[in-house]
Amino acid sequence: MKTQLLKPNEESIKLACELLKNGEVVGLPTETVYGLAGDCSNPSAIKKIFEAKGRPMDNPLIVHIASIDMLDGIVKEVNDDALKMMKAFWPGPLTIIMPKGPKVCNESCAGLDSVGVRMPSNEIARKVIALSKTPFSAPSANLSGKPSPTNAKTVYEDMNGKIPLIIDGGDCETGVESTVISVLNKTPIILRPGAITKEMIEEVLKKPIKLAGAITKQLSSNKPVLSPGMKYKHYAPNANVIILKGSLKKFTEYVNSHKTPNTFALVFDEEKDALNIPTLTYGRKNYPSEQAHNLFTKLRELDERNAKTVYARCPQKKGVGLAVYNRLIKSAGFNIIKL
């Protein structure tokens, strides 16, 4: 299959709509990361998404809508907590897990009776959904296990020959995937941290909410999994990533005594000259949104530069920093050394 990479304009958006309506899969920008979009009600479209990614069939997809009325049939009910969060954070990077409605095919939800829904703020994504009148299911547009794509070129690298069209909407604003929160139980629980933080949600709901343990710790195999995505190795470049937790001085000492050829450092902007080995930076130290914006691009760059071992500085765990920490620790396979 030939993959077209097109700039967004009336014609390419129309083409995307037609492809979606015909059960094809399209690479589209969102404000978080690029998505692989397919009609959420069409099992054959959903099957193509799983195949293109090489994604395990038991890992459900998120449904994307452009307006509140589209929720009809996609979810069975919207409770108070969900409604408050929709009003506060949609359109935007928040996915809410609710009871599944009949419009979404079982394949999209991997057989679960719940569905994750979000309303993206990216204009291109919204236009495609609104014009095609087709809410789409979309996972991140990377090959399963690779860092999520934050620009169209990366989508092309992973999906060339597998899908008919990618729309190039430039760099994604946020750079990490949406916050995923479940409202299936009395106390909402964040299953994946993102740009909408626990603190922001608690302020809107006026009550404490929970954070799934798997966000910061490796799942033990005998515990039930709240979100299938938690089980899988994620965001990993080919290199062996190791997070070193401690001061810059200790970091430098450790790296200098452990470095081998093709060892790279991934540090904060202010620290770019601290080491005498190849060094990439992923944002200023106290600016977690900047780090979120850059992280996946930098993980991909490490592959391009053939890194074998990567020592990374540890992001702070609060606010948006928690999302950065979560992605980095997963890319490191939970390999963290306290200095």
> Whose Cβ is closer to ligand TXA: residue 116's or residue 283's?
116
State how beta strands 165-167 and 179-182 pair: unpaired
> Whose Cβ is closer to ligand TXA: residue 17's or residue 190's?
190
State how beta strands 136-137 and 94-99 pair: unpaired
Q: Minimal CB distance to ligand TXA: which residue?
A: 229
* Residues in Cβ contact with 312 at an 8 Å cutoff, skipping those fewer than 6 apart: 241, 242, 243, 244, 265, 266, 267, 328, 332
**How many whole angstroms separate alpha carbon 100 and alpha carbon 116?**
8
State how beta strands 179-182 and 35-39 pair: unpaired
Taking CB under 5 A as the criterion, the residue among 41, 140, 182, 309 binding Mg ion is: 140
HSE, side-chain direction, 13 A CA sphere, residue 105: 16
Site string for ligand TXA, 29-48 (x = CB under 6 A): -x-xx-x-------------
Distance in Å, CB of 239 to ligand TXA, minimum: 22
Q: Name the packing angle between helices 123-132 and 10-21 (round to 10°).
A: 50
> Whose Cβ is closer to Mg ion: residue 140's or residue 326's?
140
Site string for ligand TXA, 58-97 (x = CB under 6 A): -xxxx------------------------------x-x-x
Look up residue 284 and give its two tokens.
Answer: 């200023």
Q: Is 17 in the site for ligand TXA (CB under 6 A)?
A: no
Q: Find which of Mg ion, ligand TXA, none residue 178 binds, CB within 5 to 8 Å per kind.
A: ligand TXA
Distance in Å, CB of 72 to Mg ion, minimum: 27
Do the beta carbons of residue 136 and residue 38 sit within 8 Å? yes
CA 279 → CA 102, 230, 289, 311, distances in Å?
50, 30, 20, 10
Q: Is 16 in the site for ligand TXA (CB under 6 A)?
A: no
**How many whole angstroms separate alpha carbon 263 and alpha carbon 241?**
10
Distance in Å, CB of 284 to ligand TXA, minimum: 23
Taking CB under 6 A as the criterion, the residue among 4, 114, 279, 335 binding ligand TXA is: 114
> Whose Cβ is closer to Mg ion: residue 149's or residue 315's?
149
Distance in Å, CB of 53 to Mg ion, minimum: 8
Do the beta carbons of residue 235 and residue 228 sit within 8 Å? no
Q: Find which of ligand TXA, Mg ion, none residue 322 binds, CB within 5 to 8 Å per kind.
A: none
Task: Using only the alpha carbons of the chain, give its radius of gyration.
Answer: 20
List interacting residues with ligand TXA (CB under 6 A).
30, 32-33, 35, 59-62, 93, 95, 97, 109, 112, 114-116, 138-140, 177-178, 180, 191-192, 227-229
List interacting residues with Mg ion (CB under 5 A).
140
